[in-house]
């Protein structure tokens, strides 16, 4: 003879029983227009991300151009003239 099922013994069984009760119970109704609102929000998020990505690439391109202009004007790779340091005499 089997004993009647009693209360769950451990946390796994309690969680399992809670999920089973949720699945058996009736489900709440979905608000009308929820899918349309979610799709609209998704489109807005994509548009914002696309805009931010384009602005980031434009800023990176502007920084590269500014660096190239600065490097062309100042020529940091050129050898400095010898008169920038005092002459070393008496060594």
Residue 31, both tokens:
């608000």
**Over the stretch 49-74, which tens digit does the pLDDT of each residue have?**
999 999 999 999 999 999 999 999 99
Say if residues 37 and 30 touch (Cβ distance below 8 Å).
Answer: no
Residue 65, both tokens:
């151009």
State how far Cα 51 lies from the chain centre. 14
**Has residue 85 got a pLDDT over 60?**
yes
Top pLDDT among 78 and 87 is at 78
- Closest of 8, 34, 40 to residue 21, by C-alpha: 8
**Has residue 87 got a pLDDT over 80?**
no
User: What count of Cα atoms within 13 Å lies in the side-chain half-sphere of residue 34?
Assistant: 4
Top pLDDT among 18 and 63 is at 63
Task: Tell me the percentage of the chain whose pLDDT exceeds 90.
Answer: 47
Say if residues 28 and 22 touch (Cβ distance below 8 Å).
Answer: no
pLDDT score at 38? 96
**Has residue 2 got a pLDDT over 70?**
no
Helix segments in 1-91, DSSP class H: 11-24, 34-74
């Amino acid at each position: 003879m089997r004993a009647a099922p009693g209360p769950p013994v451990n946390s796994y069984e309690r969680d399992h029983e809670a999920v089973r009760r949720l699945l058996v119970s009736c489900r709440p109704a979905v608000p009308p227009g929820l899918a349309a609102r979610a799709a609209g929000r998704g489109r807005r998020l994509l548009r914002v991300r696309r805009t931010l990505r384009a602005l980031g690439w434009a800023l990176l391109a502007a920084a590269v151009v500014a660096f190239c202009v600065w490097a062309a004007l100042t020529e940091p790779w050129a050898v400095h003239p010898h008169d920038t340091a005092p002459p070393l005499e008496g060594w």
